[in-house]
Amino acid sequence: HTPVTAAATSLEQISKYNKYLNAFVDVADYDVIRSQAEDATRRWEKGQPKSPLDGTIIGYKMNFCTEELRSTCSSSMLENFQAPYTATAVELLRQAGAITGGKANMDEFGMGSHNVFSAAGVTRNPFGIVNCPTEELDTAEGRSPGGSSGGSAAAVASNMCFAALGSDTGGSVRLPASYCGVVGFKPSYGRISRWGLVAYASSLDTVGTLTKTVNDAEIVYNLISKEDPKDSTCLTQRQRDHIAQGITSVEQSEESRNTGKPLSGVRIGVPQEFNIEELSPSTKSLWRKGILALKDAGATVVPISIPNTRLAVGAYLTLATAEASSNLQRYDGIRYGHQSDEKDEKDSLYYHTRSEGFGKEVRRRILLGTYVLTSGSFDNFFLRAQKIRQTIRKDFDNVFARPNMITGSLPGEDDPERVHALLAPVAVTTAPKLEDVLGDHIDPINAYMDDIFTIPASLAGLPAMSVPFGNCANDGFPMGLQVIGQYGDEEMVFKVGRVVE
Ligand code: GLN
């Protein structure tokens, strides 16, 4: 495959399916894509590609600022927003020769799990749509692509692009990856610069990747995991060196290195609290098969406990909505974005602009977030949630054999009960039918439970990946398994992910 032929395939897929899937809201100019692909092909022919990704087509979630195309966050508030600068992660990929394919649909400002809260309309899961006879495309069963990076996952799954960037605050890369049958990777908090990624909840937001394989995820990740002075929470090179040193200071035993199996000497933890009642039997059996696959590869599997798992969703919602209510104050109708035409005396421009510009889920979260920050509930909600977040971090530190170089936890390599990575489900079920999650069918409290397995790693800032693992026997739709690693130990997540794959 040369970049030219690959680009032709992507463009064909976009022309054929995007109107049914609505994965890309904005598509880049076909002629620009073709001419960039020709340039890249020439570089490959000369043996001088800019990077392994030179000439590949990449999709970007609508919350990445890019000078080309709009950056709407799928919100009416930013419907015509043209960013004056480009996000660092996007810029790094451009320098590596990647070609922008389009901007992908999402839940407005990242708030949602099924891509149904989007001013640009819903995205459909490519499964059951692509490969279906043309005359049935309009009526084919629509399943949720997951959210909030639903467009990014759908674009990769339907081969509209080689890879896509998404953002993961509480599971927004991993859940759509599981539903659409692609690899979704969220690195440790601070690995990839958030500069130019529109903020949802800054202490949890991470840039993540959607790809077809674990290897591709690693290639994209390696190109964009760099220090960036423009984001103060992005790890500096010195911090990266320090983390790498701590992680690898613990050597595997001689015996385990010699057995030749990919996971010899690796201990995998199975978090008992994730085995909840709501888990469908097919998800459970998938999880069991995953455990067997890791054992076959030489891993030792041990049950472990993250005792505070059940408090994670509540703590996440408190913290994420509080941060969102603060981050979203900037949409005031004056500096940029939508401005209301309503000119009454009674209510302010701010009031009208925000009532018109924000969708109902965003308004719900702003209200919730403002409430938990009021003086009357601050201690009871916000502070308590912060404490829960710390205890969940400790829960993870207590089970990992390698040290967390941020919290300063002690290594426990010799302790057979402590593990190198965790294996867990990503979602309770396969992709639900769109009609079941649309409009008023969706009960917000139930919907928040969709993120029950992804949120703990987000609160602790840990690297986590959703890897497609066969189809769920009962409905043929894909499902992923989740690999979670110690802070900074992306390498272990890739290693285990490659075996799950
Ligand atoms: N579904 C979760 C939420 O709505 C996670 C979103 C995300 O990771 N951006 O908050």
Q: Which position has the higher pLDDT, 314 or 447?
A: 314
How are beta strands 183-186 and 206-211 bridged, if at all?
A: antiparallel
Mutate to test the pocket of ligand 1, among 63, 74, 107, 210 (most ligand atoms within 8 A of CB): 107
Q: Judging by DSSP bridges, how do beta strands 464-471 and 183-186 pair with one another?
A: antiparallel
Least confident of 90-99, 215-224, 232-241, 469-478: 469-478
Ligand 1 centroid from CA 325, angstroms: 14
- Ligand 1: does its nearest atom lie under 6 Å from the Cβ of 369? no
Q: Tens of pLDDT along 433-450? A: 999 998 776 777 777 888
From the CA of 28, how far away is ligand 1's center (Å)? 27
Q: If you average pLDDT over residues 236-265, what whole number do you get?
A: 79
Whether 112 lines ligand 1, by a CB cut-off of 6 Å, is yes
- In DSSP notation, 324-366 reads HHHHGGG-SSSSSS-------SSS-HHHHHHHHHS-HHHHHHH
Name the residue of 63, 117, 118, 169 to mutate for ligand 1: max ligand atoms within 8 A of Cβ: 169
C-beta separation of 165 from 209 below 8 A: yes
Q: Which of 148, 446, 482 to mutate to test the pocket of ligand 1 (most atoms within 8 A of CB)?
A: 148
CA of 148 to the centre of ligand 1 (A): 6
Instruction: Indicate whether 453 belongs to any domain.
Output: no
Percent of the residues in the chain that have a pLDDT greater than 90, as a whole number? 85
- The CA dihedral of 316, 321, 323, 324, to the nearest 10 degrees, is 130
Reported residue count of the chain is 501
For residue 197, the cross-strand partners are 64
Looking at the domain assignment, is residue 461 inside a domain?
no
| Angle value at C-alpha 195, between 25 and 156, nearest 5 degrees | 35
Residue identified by tokens 């993870």 is 396
pLDDT of amino acid 219: 98
User: Residue 407's pLDDT is what?
Assistant: 92
Report the pLDDT value the prediction gives residue 446, as an integer from 0 to 100. Answer: 74
Instruction: Judge whether 146 and 126 are in contact, CB under 8 Å.
Output: no
Instruction: Find out whether the beta carbon of 458 lies less than 6 Å from any atom of ligand 1.
Output: no
Question: For ligand 1, is residue 166 a contact (CB within 6 Å)?
Answer: no
CB count in 10 Å sphere of residue 329: 12
Residue whose structure tokens are 């009871």 = 380
In whole angstroms, give the CA distance from residue 230 to residue 82.
20
Beta-sheet strands, E only, within 48-170: 57-61, 99-104, 163-168
CATH code for the domain of 52: 3.90.1300.10
Q: Write down the pLDDT at residue 471.
A: 64
Any ligand 1 atom below 6 A from CB of 368: no
Decide whether any atom of ligand 1 lies within 6 Å of the 485 Cβ.
no
Average pLDDT, the chain: 94
- Does residue 402 carry a pLDDT above 60? yes
Confirm whether 180 is domain-assigned.
Answer: yes
What ipTM goes with this model? 0.97
Residue range 448-496, pLDDT digits in tens:
888 999 999 999 999 999 999 976 556 789 999 999 999 999 999 999 9
Domain assignment of residue 476, yes or no? no
Between the CA of 112 and the centroid of ligand 1 the distance, in Å, is 5
- At residue 473, the pLDDT reads 56
For residue 411, is it within any domain?
no
pLDDT-derived band at 134, boundaries 50, 70, 90: confident
- Residue 242's alpha-carbon distances to 249, 256, 381, in angstroms, are 11, 26, 35
The b-or-e profile of 422-444 (16+ CB within 10 A means b, else e) is bbbbbbebbbbebeebeeeebee
Task: Count the domains in the chain.
Answer: 1
Which pLDDT does position 251 carry in this prediction? 54
Q: H-helix or E-strand containing 26?
A: strand 24-27
Our answer on whether the CB atom of 293 is closer than 6 Å to any ligand 1 atom is: no
* Sheet strands side by side (includes 99-104): 24-27, 99-104, 57-61, 163-168, 206-211, 183-186, 464-471, 478-485, 421-425, 267-271, 300-304
- Residue 373 Cα to chain centre, angstroms: 27
Q: Do residues 93 and 114 lie in contact, with contact meaning Cβ atoms separated by under 8 Å?
A: no
Q: Report if residue 23 sits inside a domain.
A: yes
Work out the pLDDT band at 133, boundaries 50, 70, 90.
Answer: confident
For residue 46, the SS3 value is coil
The Cα–Cα gap between 95 and 223 comes to: 10
Cα(431)–Cα(278) distance, integer angstroms: 15
Query: What distance in angstroms lies between residue 477's CA and the mean position of ligand 1's atoms?
Result: 22
Active site residues: 61, 148, 172
Three-state secondary structure call for residue 227 = coil
Q: In this model, does residue 119 exceed pLDDT 60?
A: yes
3-state secondary structure 406-443: CCCCCCCCCCCCCECEEEEECCCCCCCEHHHHCHHHCC
User: What is the mean predicted confidence (pLDDT) over 200-206?
Assistant: 98
Is residue 17 in a domain?
yes
- Cβ atoms of 354 and 333 within 8 Å: the answer is yes
Query: Which of ligand 1's atoms lies nearest the C-alpha of 201?
Result: 9
Strand, coil or helix: 161 = coil
Q: Which has the minimum average pLDDT: 131-145, 172-186, 247-261?
A: 247-261
Position 474 scores a pLDDT of: 62
Residue 144 CB–ligand 1 contact under 6 Å: no
Give the atom of ligand 1 at the shortest distance from the alpha carbon of 112: 4
> Which residue among 61, 63, 73, 172 has the greatest number of ligand 1 atoms within 8 angstroms of its CB, and so is best to mutate?
172
Sole residue written with tokens 């620009």: 32
Over residues 234-260, mean pLDDT: 78
Q: pLDDT value at position 472?
A: 57
Helix (H, G, I), strand (E, B) or coil at 478: strand
Distance 7 CA to ligand 1 centre (A): 31
Predicted confidence at residue 99, as pLDDT, reads 98
CB 63 less than 6 A from any atom of ligand 1: no
164 inside domain: yes
148 lines ligand 1 (CB under 6 A): yes
Instruction: State the alpha helices, DSSP H only, in 158-257.
Output: 174-180, 214-224, 237-248, 254-257
Distance 469 CA to ligand 1 centre (A): 23
Q: Report d(CA 194, CA 205) in Å as an integer.
A: 8
Q: Pick the closest to residue 474 from 287, 280, 291 (CA basis).
A: 280
200 lines ligand 1 (CB under 6 A): yes
For residue 218, the CA-to-ligand 1 centroid distance in Å is 23
Note down the domain range covering 135: 3-224
Task: Check if the beta carbon of residue 364 is closer than 8 Å to that of residue 447.
Answer: no
- pLDDT for residue 118: 97
Is any ligand 1 atom within 6 A of the Cβ of residue 110? yes
Query: Tens of pLDDT along 293-302?
Result: 999 999 999 9
Placement of tokens 């409009």 in the chain: 439
